[in-house]
Structure 1
Amino acid sequence: MIRTIQETDAKAIQELCQVALGYDADLNLVQSQIKKLSQDHDHHIIAVYEDKVSSRAVAFVHAEIYEGLYSEAGLNILGLAVSPDYQGQGIGRELMTFIEKYAINHQLLYIRLNSAVHRLDAHQFYQSIGYRHDRTQKRFTKTF
Protein backbone atom coordinates (compact mmCIF):
# COMPACT_ATOMS: atom_id res chain seq x y z
CA MET A 1 0.00 0.00 0.00
CA ILE A 2 1.32 3.47 -0.88
CA ARG A 3 0.95 6.14 1.77
CA THR A 4 2.51 9.41 2.89
CA ILE A 5 5.71 9.14 4.89
CA GLN A 6 5.43 9.37 8.68
CA GLU A 7 7.99 10.20 11.33
CA THR A 8 7.68 6.62 12.62
CA ASP A 9 9.16 5.43 9.29
CA ALA A 10 12.59 6.88 10.13
CA LYS A 11 14.34 3.63 11.07
CA ALA A 12 12.98 1.80 8.00
CA ILE A 13 13.99 4.72 5.73
CA GLN A 14 17.47 4.79 7.26
CA GLU A 15 17.86 1.08 6.56
CA LEU A 16 16.56 1.46 3.00
CA CYS A 17 19.06 4.25 2.37
CA GLN A 18 21.84 1.95 3.52
CA VAL A 19 20.92 -1.36 1.91
CA ALA A 20 19.19 -0.19 -1.27
CA LEU A 21 21.08 3.03 -2.06
CA GLY A 22 24.41 2.61 -0.28
CA TYR A 23 24.08 5.80 1.80
CA ASP A 24 25.29 5.70 5.39
CA ALA A 25 22.38 7.68 6.80
CA ASP A 26 22.32 8.89 10.41
CA LEU A 27 19.02 8.01 12.11
CA ASN A 28 18.71 11.37 13.88
CA LEU A 29 19.21 13.19 10.60
CA VAL A 30 16.67 10.98 8.82
CA GLN A 31 14.16 11.67 11.61
CA SER A 32 14.62 15.43 11.46
CA GLN A 33 14.52 15.49 7.65
CA ILE A 34 11.28 13.49 7.57
CA LYS A 35 9.75 15.91 10.07
CA LYS A 36 10.86 18.97 8.11
CA LEU A 37 10.32 17.81 4.52
CA SER A 38 6.99 16.07 5.09
CA GLN A 39 5.54 19.42 6.14
CA ASP A 40 6.70 21.14 2.93
CA HIS A 41 3.85 19.95 0.69
CA ASP A 42 4.51 22.71 -1.84
CA HIS A 43 7.97 21.38 -2.69
CA HIS A 44 8.45 17.79 -1.49
CA ILE A 45 6.45 14.66 -2.23
CA ILE A 46 7.47 11.63 -0.17
CA ALA A 47 5.59 8.36 -0.31
CA VAL A 48 6.34 4.95 1.12
CA TYR A 49 5.18 1.49 0.20
CA GLU A 50 4.01 -0.28 3.31
CA ASP A 51 4.13 -4.05 3.74
CA LYS A 52 0.56 -5.23 4.40
CA VAL A 53 1.57 -7.75 7.07
CA SER A 54 4.24 -5.88 9.04
CA SER A 55 2.99 -2.31 8.34
CA ARG A 56 6.67 -1.44 7.79
CA ALA A 57 7.90 0.86 5.01
CA VAL A 58 9.75 -1.36 2.53
CA ALA A 59 10.23 1.25 -0.20
CA PHE A 60 10.05 4.98 -0.72
CA VAL A 61 10.10 7.64 -3.38
CA HIS A 62 11.09 11.26 -2.72
CA ALA A 63 10.56 13.97 -5.32
CA GLU A 64 10.78 17.74 -5.31
CA ILE A 65 9.24 20.37 -7.52
CA TYR A 66 11.93 21.43 -10.00
CA GLU A 67 11.64 24.74 -11.81
CA GLY A 68 14.37 26.93 -13.20
CA LEU A 69 14.75 30.11 -15.16
CA TYR A 70 15.25 27.98 -18.25
CA SER A 71 12.59 25.32 -17.71
CA GLU A 72 8.94 24.74 -17.00
CA ALA A 73 7.99 23.10 -13.71
CA GLY A 74 8.53 19.38 -13.29
CA LEU A 75 9.56 16.88 -10.67
CA ASN A 76 13.07 15.85 -9.72
CA ILE A 77 13.31 12.39 -8.17
CA LEU A 78 15.68 12.65 -5.22
CA GLY A 79 15.40 9.04 -4.21
CA LEU A 80 13.71 5.76 -5.05
CA ALA A 81 14.58 2.77 -2.90
CA VAL A 82 13.06 -0.69 -2.59
CA SER A 83 14.26 -3.21 -0.03
CA PRO A 84 16.23 -5.98 -1.75
CA ASP A 85 13.76 -8.49 -0.24
CA TYR A 86 10.91 -6.78 -2.12
CA GLN A 87 12.58 -6.00 -5.45
CA GLY A 88 11.09 -7.53 -8.56
CA GLN A 89 7.52 -7.35 -7.23
CA GLY A 90 6.47 -4.16 -9.04
CA ILE A 91 6.79 -1.88 -6.02
CA GLY A 92 9.25 0.53 -7.67
CA ARG A 93 6.95 0.71 -10.69
CA GLU A 94 3.95 1.45 -8.42
CA LEU A 95 5.82 4.25 -6.66
CA MET A 96 6.91 5.78 -9.96
CA THR A 97 3.33 5.55 -11.29
CA PHE A 98 2.18 7.33 -8.11
CA ILE A 99 4.70 10.13 -8.74
CA GLU A 100 3.76 10.34 -12.43
CA LYS A 101 0.08 10.74 -11.53
CA TYR A 102 1.04 13.44 -9.04
CA ALA A 103 2.93 15.29 -11.78
CA ILE A 104 0.04 15.06 -14.23
CA ASN A 105 -2.54 16.15 -11.64
CA HIS A 106 -0.41 19.18 -10.73
CA GLN A 107 0.32 20.23 -14.33
CA LEU A 108 4.01 19.39 -14.03
CA LEU A 109 5.47 18.71 -17.46
CA TYR A 110 8.23 16.17 -16.81
CA ILE A 111 10.05 14.01 -14.33
CA ARG A 112 13.81 13.90 -14.21
CA LEU A 113 16.21 11.87 -12.13
CA ASN A 114 19.86 11.04 -11.77
CA SER A 115 21.23 7.55 -11.30
CA ALA A 116 24.82 6.66 -10.45
CA VAL A 117 26.85 5.27 -13.35
CA HIS A 118 27.39 1.90 -11.64
CA ARG A 119 23.66 1.28 -10.94
CA LEU A 120 23.01 -0.64 -14.15
CA ASP A 121 19.96 -2.46 -12.77
CA ALA A 122 18.39 0.89 -11.89
CA HIS A 123 19.11 2.20 -15.40
CA GLN A 124 17.43 -0.83 -16.91
CA PHE A 125 14.43 -0.37 -14.60
CA TYR A 126 13.97 3.30 -15.52
CA GLN A 127 14.22 2.53 -19.23
CA SER A 128 11.68 -0.29 -18.84
CA ILE A 129 9.11 2.19 -17.49
CA GLY A 130 9.63 4.73 -20.25
CA TYR A 131 12.46 6.97 -19.07
CA ARG A 132 15.28 7.74 -21.45
CA HIS A 133 18.91 8.52 -20.79
CA ASP A 134 19.48 12.02 -22.15
CA ARG A 135 22.89 13.11 -20.85
CA THR A 136 26.00 12.23 -18.93
CA GLN A 137 27.21 14.63 -16.27
CA LYS A 138 29.73 14.96 -13.50
CA ARG A 139 28.60 16.11 -10.09
CA PHE A 140 30.63 18.67 -8.17
CA THR A 141 30.19 19.39 -4.47
CA LYS A 142 31.71 21.71 -1.93
CA THR A 143 31.22 20.96 1.75
CA PHE A 144 30.96 23.62 4.43
Structure 2
Amino acid sequence: MIRNAQITDSSAIQEINRTQLGYDCSLEQTTKHLQRILKDANHHYLLVYEDDVSHQVEGYLHAEIFEETYFEPLLDVLALAVAGSTQGKGIGTKLMSRLEELAQELDINEIRLSSGEERVAAHKFYEKLGYQCLKKQKRFVKKLSTK
Protein backbone atom coordinates (compact mmCIF):
# COMPACT_ATOMS: atom_id res chain seq x y z
CA MET A 1 0.00 0.00 0.00
CA ILE A 2 1.18 3.51 -0.75
CA ARG A 3 0.64 6.14 1.92
CA ASN A 4 2.06 9.44 3.07
CA ALA A 5 5.21 9.10 5.15
CA GLN A 6 5.05 9.51 8.91
CA ILE A 7 7.70 10.32 11.46
CA THR A 8 7.58 6.66 12.58
CA ASP A 9 9.03 5.75 9.15
CA SER A 10 12.37 7.40 10.01
CA SER A 11 14.20 4.17 10.76
CA ALA A 12 13.08 2.44 7.54
CA ILE A 13 13.89 5.49 5.41
CA GLN A 14 17.30 5.86 7.08
CA GLU A 15 18.11 2.20 6.36
CA ILE A 16 16.97 2.44 2.72
CA ASN A 17 19.01 5.62 2.27
CA ARG A 18 22.08 3.89 3.73
CA THR A 19 21.86 0.60 1.86
CA GLN A 20 20.39 1.67 -1.47
CA LEU A 21 21.44 5.29 -1.99
CA GLY A 22 24.73 5.32 -0.09
CA TYR A 23 23.74 8.15 2.28
CA ASP A 24 24.90 7.24 5.78
CA CYS A 25 22.89 9.82 7.70
CA SER A 26 22.23 8.99 11.35
CA LEU A 27 18.75 8.05 12.52
CA GLU A 28 18.67 11.22 14.63
CA GLN A 29 19.46 13.42 11.61
CA THR A 30 17.05 11.49 9.36
CA THR A 31 14.27 12.00 11.92
CA LYS A 32 15.07 15.71 12.20
CA HIS A 33 15.02 16.13 8.41
CA LEU A 34 11.84 14.10 8.09
CA GLN A 35 10.08 16.24 10.72
CA ARG A 36 10.97 19.40 8.78
CA ILE A 37 9.89 17.97 5.42
CA LEU A 38 6.58 16.64 6.76
CA LYS A 39 5.67 20.11 8.01
CA ASP A 40 5.75 21.38 4.40
CA ALA A 41 2.95 19.24 2.91
CA ASN A 42 2.14 21.88 0.28
CA HIS A 43 5.63 21.77 -1.19
CA HIS A 44 7.09 18.34 -0.37
CA TYR A 45 5.49 15.00 -1.14
CA LEU A 46 6.91 12.01 0.70
CA LEU A 47 5.28 8.68 -0.08
CA VAL A 48 6.14 5.25 1.29
CA TYR A 49 5.27 1.78 0.09
CA GLU A 50 4.28 -0.39 3.02
CA ASP A 51 3.84 -4.16 2.73
CA ASP A 52 0.20 -5.05 3.44
CA VAL A 53 1.11 -8.09 5.57
CA SER A 54 4.32 -7.19 7.42
CA HIS A 55 3.62 -3.42 7.51
CA GLN A 56 7.31 -2.88 6.72
CA VAL A 57 8.26 0.15 4.64
CA GLU A 58 9.86 -1.31 1.51
CA GLY A 59 10.40 1.87 -0.51
CA TYR A 60 9.84 5.57 -0.61
CA LEU A 61 9.62 8.52 -2.96
CA HIS A 62 10.34 12.17 -2.14
CA ALA A 63 9.33 14.90 -4.58
CA GLU A 64 8.88 18.63 -4.36
CA ILE A 65 7.17 21.27 -6.39
CA PHE A 66 9.81 23.14 -8.39
CA GLU A 67 8.93 26.59 -9.64
CA GLU A 68 10.90 28.94 -11.81
CA THR A 69 10.27 32.15 -13.74
CA TYR A 70 10.85 30.54 -17.14
CA PHE A 71 8.55 27.47 -17.08
CA GLU A 72 5.45 26.04 -15.45
CA PRO A 73 5.73 24.35 -12.04
CA LEU A 74 6.79 20.72 -12.10
CA LEU A 75 7.39 17.92 -9.64
CA ASP A 76 11.07 17.21 -9.05
CA VAL A 77 11.85 13.73 -7.73
CA LEU A 78 14.52 14.09 -5.04
CA ALA A 79 14.66 10.41 -4.06
CA LEU A 80 13.20 7.10 -5.12
CA ALA A 81 14.54 4.03 -3.37
CA VAL A 82 13.38 0.49 -2.73
CA ALA A 83 14.84 -1.93 -0.20
CA GLY A 84 17.22 -4.37 -1.88
CA SER A 85 15.28 -7.44 -0.80
CA THR A 86 12.11 -6.20 -2.51
CA GLN A 87 13.51 -4.74 -5.73
CA GLY A 88 12.00 -6.07 -8.94
CA LYS A 89 8.52 -6.42 -7.43
CA GLY A 90 7.05 -3.26 -8.98
CA ILE A 91 7.32 -1.05 -5.90
CA GLY A 92 9.25 1.72 -7.67
CA THR A 93 6.78 1.63 -10.55
CA LYS A 94 3.84 1.91 -8.16
CA LEU A 95 5.43 4.87 -6.35
CA MET A 96 6.15 6.68 -9.63
CA SER A 97 2.60 5.97 -10.88
CA ARG A 98 1.16 7.43 -7.69
CA LEU A 99 3.32 10.53 -8.15
CA GLU A 100 2.03 10.91 -11.71
CA GLU A 101 -1.54 10.73 -10.38
CA LEU A 102 -0.68 13.33 -7.76
CA ALA A 103 0.78 15.60 -10.45
CA GLN A 104 -2.50 15.41 -12.38
CA GLU A 105 -4.45 16.21 -9.20
CA LEU A 106 -2.22 19.29 -8.73
CA ASP A 107 -2.61 20.29 -12.42
CA ILE A 108 1.12 19.78 -12.97
CA ASN A 109 2.07 18.36 -16.35
CA GLU A 110 5.76 17.53 -15.90
CA ILE A 111 7.88 15.39 -13.60
CA ARG A 112 11.65 15.44 -13.70
CA LEU A 113 14.42 13.70 -11.86
CA SER A 114 18.17 13.48 -11.76
CA SER A 115 20.13 10.25 -11.59
CA GLY A 116 23.86 9.73 -11.20
CA GLU A 117 25.75 8.63 -14.31
CA GLU A 118 26.77 5.35 -12.68
CA ARG A 119 23.15 4.29 -11.93
CA VAL A 120 22.62 2.54 -15.27
CA ALA A 121 19.94 0.16 -13.97
CA ALA A 122 17.97 3.12 -12.60
CA HIS A 123 18.22 4.86 -15.98
CA LYS A 124 16.76 1.80 -17.71
CA PHE A 125 13.96 1.72 -15.12
CA TYR A 126 13.05 5.38 -15.75
CA GLU A 127 13.20 4.91 -19.52
CA LYS A 128 10.88 1.91 -19.20
CA LEU A 129 8.41 4.23 -17.45
CA GLY A 130 8.61 6.70 -20.35
CA TYR A 131 11.10 9.21 -18.95
CA GLN A 132 13.72 10.66 -21.29
CA CYS A 133 17.19 12.01 -20.61
CA LEU A 134 17.07 15.58 -21.89
CA LYS A 135 20.46 16.93 -20.91
CA LYS A 136 23.67 16.19 -19.11
CA GLN A 137 24.98 18.63 -16.58
CA LYS A 138 27.48 19.05 -13.78
CA ARG A 139 26.54 19.83 -10.21
CA PHE A 140 28.49 22.53 -8.42
CA VAL A 141 28.44 22.79 -4.63
CA LYS A 142 30.00 25.19 -2.19
CA LYS A 143 29.94 24.31 1.49
CA LEU A 144 29.29 27.34 3.67
CA SER A 145 30.47 27.57 7.25
CA THR A 146 27.75 27.72 9.88
CA LYS A 147 27.61 30.44 12.47
TM-score range, shorter chain: over 0.9
- Deviation >6 Å, runs of 4+: none
Deviation, structure 1 residue 54: 2.1
Deviation, structure 1 residue 53: 2.4
TM-score of the aligned structures, taking structure 1 as reference length: 0.97
1:118-137 equivalences in 2 (<5 Å): 118-137=118-137
**In structure 1, C-alpha distance between the alignment counterparts of 2:31 and 2:111, rounded to whole Å:** 26
- Structure 1, unaligned runs of 5 or more: none
Partner of 2:55: 55
Query: Which amino acid in structure 2 is aligned with residue 91 of structure 1?
Result: I
**In structure 1, C-alpha distance between the alignment counterparts of 2:94 and 2:14, rounded to whole Å:** 21
Matched residue count = 144
- Alignment of 1:71 onto 2:90: no
Q: Do the aligned residues in 2 keep the contact of 1:4 with 1:46 (CA within 8 Å)?
A: yes
What's the % identity of the aligned pairs?
Answer: 42
Q: Do the aligned residues in 2 keep the contact of 1:76 with 1:111 (CA within 8 Å)?
A: yes
Query: Which amino acid in structure 2 is aligned with residue 96 of structure 1?
Result: M
- Structure 2, unaligned runs of 5 or more: none
Deviation, structure 1 residue 92: 0.2
**In structure 2, C-alpha distance between the alignment counterparts of 1:13 and 1:136, rounded to whole Å:** 28
1:1-144 equivalences in 2 (<5 Å): 1-144=1-144
Counterpart secondary structure, 2:33: helix
**In structure 1, C-alpha distance between the alignment counterparts of 2:124 and 2:38, rounded to whole Å:** 30
Question: 1:67-120, CA deviations, whole angstroms, 9 ceiling, x for partnerless residues?
Answer: 101110110000000011111000000000000000011011200000000000
TM-score of the aligned structures, taking structure 2 as reference length: 0.95
